[in-house]
């Protein structure tokens, strides 16, 4: 079933904060040593000061994220997005400031983080899921589902050092998504596997969002971001440049006037809705003609056309439900045709 931002639940007005980021700083060493001359001066001056040059990868970042929010971290290369994600997940510690989180966190941040190369896929699933806070019985209950989702097949009993990077990612994603996290962190969603697998992951992420879980993603795919996220934070040289609606954040990234992406999106939706209405109108006309012609066969064909237009709804139904609807519709149409015949008689 296709899920869209407009189908996803809005964040509840009283939703609590699940992530609190307060005046966060992360410093990295830009370069360790200077020239011989600088090193000599440093030595003769009694080794005062720090010879390495540091820079702030995150520079005083403050923001709160509420339960159920779908936040995109945007920014050019090196702006600090991945670093922020790592600090939220706890795999990296801040130099200053704090990050507080509430609820189980899982995600895909660094390829293979948490996977041991010498263990088999099976052992890694158990170890990784345990690290992410699952009980042994819970892992056992979900194991087959995890392996099926990852499409790893018999390779599950091979040591992961022999996996391709795609296989590695697929298994890591499958474990993370099946731990039923409260907060899901993903660095570059589209880095996971090939296209069909990416679509499968995206559907799973949307399913998680539909259940009100919190999502924080780093992505360079602005169209994707505007599809699934409701909030966008643009980072520039480690500082927050913009924090607001995802579609406006996309405009900031694309250097467009505010509202452009939103307008295009609504126009696109409007157009799609109009097209759908038009095709339904044609099908309806064909259906009426079919009723008048009096042939049940043509009526069924026209009905099938309408059914095709409502593919999403039909897909969600069981076969019995579909059959029931088609049967009751045929009975209704036959009655209508009888009445038409009586009127014409």
Ligand X SMILES: Nc1ncnc2c1ncn2[C@@H]1O[C@H](COP(=O)(O)OP(=O)(O)OP(=O)(O)O)[C@@H](O)[C@H]1O
Q: Is 222 in the site for ligand X (CB under 6 A)?
A: no
If binding is defined by CB under 6 A, does position 206 make contact with ligand X? Answer: no
**Residue 16 touches ligand X, criterion: CB under 6 A:** no
Q: Counting Cβ atoms within 10 Å, is residue 113 exposed (0-12), middle (13-18) or buried (19+)?
A: middle
Please identify, among the stretches 77-85, 102-110, 136-144, 307-315, the one whose residues bind ligand X according to the rule CB under 6 A: 77-85
> What is the rounded CA–CA span in Å between residue 305 and residue 287?
9
Which is nearest to 259 in space by CA: 226, 219, 217, 229?
Answer: 226
270's CB contacts (< 8 A; 6+ apart) are none
Residues paired with 239 in a beta bridge: 236
> Can you tell me which of 70, 81, 142, 231 binds ligand X, judged by CB under 6 A?
81
Q: Given the DSSP bridges, would you call strands 70-74 and 96-101 parallel, antiparallel or unpaired?
A: unpaired
In the complex, the smallest distance separating the C-beta of residue 306 from ligand X, rounded to whole angstroms, is 47
- Which CB, 81 or 122, lies closer to ligand X? 81
User: HEC states along 228-260?
Assistant: HCCEEEEEECCEEEEEEEHHHHHHHHHCCCCCH
Strand pairing partners for 218? 73, 187
Min dist CB 28 to ligand X, Å, is 3
CB of 77 to ligand X, least distance (A): 3
Among 28, 40, 162, 266, binds ligand X (CB under 6 A): 28
Shortest Å, Cβ 229 to ligand X = 16
Neighbouring CB atoms inside 10 A of 13's CB total 6
* Nearest distance, CB of residue 66 and ligand X, angstroms: 23
Of 85 and 139, the one with the shorter C-beta distance to ligand X is 85
CA end-to-end span of the chain: 47
Cα–Cα–Cα angle for 67, 71, 77, nearest 5°? 150
- Assess 253 for contact with ligand X (CB under 6 A): no
Q: How far is the CB of 216 from ligand X (least distance, A)?
A: 13
Instruction: Tell which one of 15, 42, 66, 82 touches ligand X (CB under 6 A).
Output: 82
Taking the least distance from each CB to ligand X, the nearer of 54 and 339 is 54
Interface residues with ligand X (CB under 6 A) are 28, 57, 75, 77-83
């Amino acid at each position: 079933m296709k899920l869209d931002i407009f189908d996803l639940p809005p964040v509840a007005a009283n939703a609590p904060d699940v992530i609190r980021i307060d005046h966060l700083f992360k410093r990295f060493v830009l370069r360790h040593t200077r020239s011989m001359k600088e090193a000599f001066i440093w030595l003769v001056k009694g080794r005062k000061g720090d010879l390495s040059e540091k820079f702030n990868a995150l520079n005083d970042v403050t923001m709160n994220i509420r339960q159920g929010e779908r936040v995109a971290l945007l920014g050019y290369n090196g702006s600090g997005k991945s670093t922020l994600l790592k600090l939220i997940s706890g795999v990296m510690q801040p130099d200053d400031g704090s990050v507080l989180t509430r609820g189980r966190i899982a995600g895909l941040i660094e390829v293979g983080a948490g996977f041991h190369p010498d263990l088999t896929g099976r052992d890694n699933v158990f170890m990784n899921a345990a690290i992410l806070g699952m009980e042994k019985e819970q892992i056992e209950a979900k194991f087959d589902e995890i392996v099926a989702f990852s499409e790893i097949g018999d390779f599950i009993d091979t040591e992961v050092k022999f996996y391709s990077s795609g296989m590695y990612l697929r298994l890591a994603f499958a474990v993370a998504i099946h731990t039923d996290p409260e907060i899901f962190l993903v660095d570059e969603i589209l880095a996971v596997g090939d296209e069909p697998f990416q679509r499968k992951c995206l559907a799973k992420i949307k399913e998680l969002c539909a259940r009100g879980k919190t999502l924080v993603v780093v992505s360079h795919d602005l169209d994707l971001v505007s599809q699934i996220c409701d909030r966008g934070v643009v980072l520039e040289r480690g500082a927050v440049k913009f924090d607001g609606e995802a579609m406006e954040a996309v405009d900031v990234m694309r250097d467009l006037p505010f509202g452009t992406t939103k307008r295009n999106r609504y126009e696109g939706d409007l157009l799609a809705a109009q097209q759908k209405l038009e095709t339904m109108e044609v099908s309806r006309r064909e259906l009426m003609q079919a009723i008048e012609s009096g042939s049940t066969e043509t009526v069924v064909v026209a009905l099938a056309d309408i059914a095709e237009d409502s593919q999403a709804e039909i897909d969600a139904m069981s076969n019995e439900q579909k059959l029931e609807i088609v049967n009751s519709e045929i009975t209704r149409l036959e009655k209508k045709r009888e009445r038409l015949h009586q009127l014409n008689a």
